Structure 1
């Protein structure tokens, strides 16, 4: 995040606090705007998961507010660390009773559990809320080699890619690996396609090949739930 955008973001937060509205977070970015009505989010957390989980949703809010004045790389590190601290890995079949379910941030933080897609979605939403552009973030669907890069056993997996520049090598945020690593250090991951709220790309592609919401019904569904939770692009 450049100095001018940090100054604008700080101003928006300070204005909200001065007006007595600390629960509403609003960040304008080059590619759009994501707002969070935290009081709505906390009420829904209390209603669906109980007061104990509101402690976690408030910790998420506090982390995001603390990250506002940090550099983009620091924001990426803080968000990744938060979800590794507060969410444990759990397969969808064991948590939701279905093979593949994409959870919203409310559901992931409410359960304190999630699989690879849930981690990636929650981190993506958090970083978009901090003003990082869609041009710098993609969820990457991969085939992961189980047991290392030389293994012949693979399974479907999803990670979040942070691109310091739109065409740069991404840093990989993985649900199963706490360390954030450059893509070149993850030869165990073979990209299949990537997407965000703005587009869908094939490996190596520079132009979106399809609408992500038209092609990915689970993505469309989770975006609807995210909006209902008070997080709106």
Structure 2
């Protein structure tokens, strides 16, 4: 697998607040995390998810926010943050977009992914990418990589973390739960990669492949617009039933 290196509010507590308390108690998290966990935006997000998707959906989203709070409060190492993030999202259900969203391709936001409780490889990867960004990883150190998964004979998406611009990236994947350097993932053939700022062409056997006009990148633009507008869509299938 050949990868390019990188160049260059109120005082009233609602339902969500009580659920945050329950999660903290059950998980054994330190009580000093409570203030961060109960910030206004996260309470509003939990309430909205509960209203639109149900209590189980809200619990998953709250667990996600607590994961980020713990990582930052406890100053996790990069390795721990990668492992915990990969493990957390890999617990979700894999399901094709056409079955879940009624579309051939839909890139869900992290909140949508957790609210519905599942998604396809792009959703796993996108959620991991945005979570790691909130944990302090720079955009330059992360890439979403579109690959060909040889063993499955299908296209796939993973997350790559570059410890340094010239280092071999570590791959986060929902197909293989173990973090591995890219040179050990001989089952993956890279096609293109991108992050919040740039698009790269990935080279295999000395040949580059253009991807700048790919229709899939319009899905990334659509996702960014929905994130900015805080728009959530509803799936055609309820995975919690």
TM-score, normalised via structure 2 length: 0.72
Counterparts of 1:145 and 1:167 in 2: how far apart (Å)? 26
Q: Are 2:62 and 1:82 equivalent residues in the alignment? A: no
Give the aligned partner of residue 201 of structure 1: 200
Where does 1:5-24 land on structure 2 (aligned, <5 Å)? 22-24=37-39
| Runs (5+) with no aligned partner, structure 1 | 1-16, 26-36, 148-153
The aligned residue for residue 119 of structure 2 is 114
Report what 2:48 is aligned to.
44
Taking a change above 3 Å as real, the CA distance of residues 168 and 50 of structure 1, as seen in their structure-2 partners, is: same
SS in 2 for 1:194: strand
Residues in 2 aligned to 1:23 and 1:167: alpha-carbon distance in whole angstroms? 39
Matches within 5 A, 1:68-147: 68=72, 69-85=75-91, 87-146=92-151
**RMSD, matched Cα:** 2.7
CA distance in 1, matches of 2:95, 2:182: 24
1:195 and 1:81 mapped to 2: Cα distance? 23
1:228 and 1:123 map into 2 onto residues whose CA distance is 21
- d(CA) in 1 for partners of 2:38 and 2:225? 21
How far did residue 215 of structure 1 move? Answer: 7.8
Larger proportion of strand: 1
> In 2, Cα distance between the equivalents of 1:121 and 1:74?
19
Query: Using the alignment, how far apart are the partners of 1:215 and 1:93 within structure 2?
Result: 15
User: Could you tell me the TM-score, scaled by structure 1's length?
Assistant: 0.74
Q: What is the CA-CA distance between 1:41 and the residue it aligns to?
A: 2.0
State how far apart, in whole Å, the 2-side matches of 1:72 and 1:176 are.
21
Classify 1:48/1:167 alpha carbon distance in 2 versus 1 (closer, same or farther; 3 Å).
Answer: farther
| Bigger relative contact order (CA 8 A; separation at least 6) | 2
Supply the distance in 2 between the matched residues of 1:175 and 1:120 (Cα, whole angstroms): 8
Rg larger in structure: 2
Kept in 2, the 8 Å contact 1:115–1:175? The answer is no
Residue 184 of structure 2 corresponds to which residue in structure 1? 185
Supply the distance in 2 between the matched residues of 1:212 and 1:114 (Cα, whole angstroms): 25
Partner residue, 1:55? 59
3-state SS in 2 of match to 1:146: helix
